[in-house]
Chain A
Amino acid sequence: MIKHRQARFKWSMLCLFGLLLLSCVLSLNLGAVAIAPKEVFQTVLGNGSARQELILFQFRLPAIVLAIMVGAGMAISGSILQGITRNELADPGILGINAGSGLAVVIYITFFQTAVGGLTLAGTFILPIFAFLGALLTGALIMVLSWRKGIHSSRLILVGIGINAGLSAFIIALQLRLEPNDFVKAMVWLSGDLWASQWQYVWALLPWFIILSIFALLKAHTLNIMNLGSQMATALGIRSLRQRVILLIIAVALAGLGVAAGGGIAFLGLIAPHIARRLVGPKHQLLLPVASLMGAIIVVLADTIGKNALSPTEIPAGLVVAIVSVPYFLVLLMKSK
């Protein structure tokens, strides 16, 4: 079955890749202005009208690239967190990393922004940086608080859940002081809206995402061994504490990037690795690529559905993910032993 599993991996990758392409085409042709698949292809080949080109290349394509990046990043982040904690319920949302990032954003909106004018040009660039720093600070806080002669998995999760609750309370306290307009903006951000769908953001975030993902893939085998527990990891010559800190930093940074670009998309880091594990098993060389494709598909579809289902009202992608994944999650919990 090693061969079998390799084959399964190849098939999964192929199918998921096809599915991702299909979602992208769907996302490209749906919207306030519908562009038929045939026209999409013609435009991609350079035969579209100026208006079609504008809509496809300046509005919809960056949104898709961003959705793929956020989805894949969150999925990898969740896979890593689940691997090092040996707990399939760990994900950046549950550990409070998304909340930390969200709090940074709300603080920014509350204290540094003029209420009426909305986000200034400088503001649009500083906002993701705030979100990213918020995630990193929260990650550091979780590490420091769960440190007791090393980092123990269950302690890490409990501290994370505590921090999540604390930060969420903070966010609400701050939000209540906001002007109605800003309140709505903060709310939409927090529920996971892919707002940064312009090429400038994509170019700012994409290099980091690529570097971190490659780094995560290089650490796949270390994750496999950490998954056997810290004693077994030491027995096999892996310096588990050091590796755990490195992997935690990668996971937090990827989540931070995701939140910076798309707000806190809950459950994604949990669901995507879960489905991937059912497809190709727990070996991270296979799991990480499949999970990241899975995550990308989920966000692209969620974004498309969110933009079109109740058109002209747009639902944040994060809410769509939550609506779809909560039932899946509950079924999973009921089925598990």
Chain B
Amino acid sequence: MIIRLLTAIALTMFVIPAAAAADTQITAAGSTALLPLVKQAATEYSQAHQGIDISVSGGGSYVGIAQARSGAAELGDSDVIAPGNSGLMDHKVAAVGFAVIVNPSANVSSLSSAQIRAIFSGRTTNWKDVGGTDQGIVIINRPRTSGTRAVFNATMMGVSKINEAGLTVDSSGTVVTTVASTPGSISYVALAYTRGKPITVAKINGVAPSEGTIVTGKYPIWSYEHIFTKGKPSSDVADFINYIASNTGLLEKLGYIPISRMKVKETNR
């Protein structure tokens, strides 16, 4: 089974790009928080530029970093900075807020930082203790491949450790569908995924996530979205990255924030 699986992965990684090698082929992989943006940008960019073919996949931020480093993907999408001196070049393309999302059955719309810490470290286990219904809390986590998890951990958890006892799901999209279908569940996900879904986006310390509250640093969970390339990118790749970062209309439409608007520094939060 594993061998079959690895073969399948090897096939999708090497054979399929090679088969389409007639065009200029660019592959991007990694953060599912950044995925909607890169995917949409790739579609628009390859329509406007003949002969450039961009394939985009998820996997998680640390997968993106690993693939950019190994050369399996030209672009490694990530919510977090690559650890160590990696030989990777960092291109910041946007800022994004992350929402704490709750299944509506919990009947909770606002949480304090301390309550969020208590819930995710496993000290608070029932919604009635934070003003909701009498219902057990189910934590839905992302695996260690996730940059969203790393950002949530860094901004909200402090020295507390995330409790692993709930479910672990492996992409931002799955987080939203799982929270929507599991009574009493709570998780964290990029804001871009929360629009029009049957879930509650919790206010944190009374502040709802919006562009206004994120750029001033009032809303605590946000990060820059990075695209990593192995060394200096080729001119095609550099042009595509620039296209993503400068496309204000697309960024706004999908719920990302252009970097120029950020008034607060990532290190000062």
The answer to whether A and B interact is no
Q: Mark A residues whose CB is within 8 Å of B.
A: none
Q: Mark B residues whose CB is within 8 Å of A.
A: none
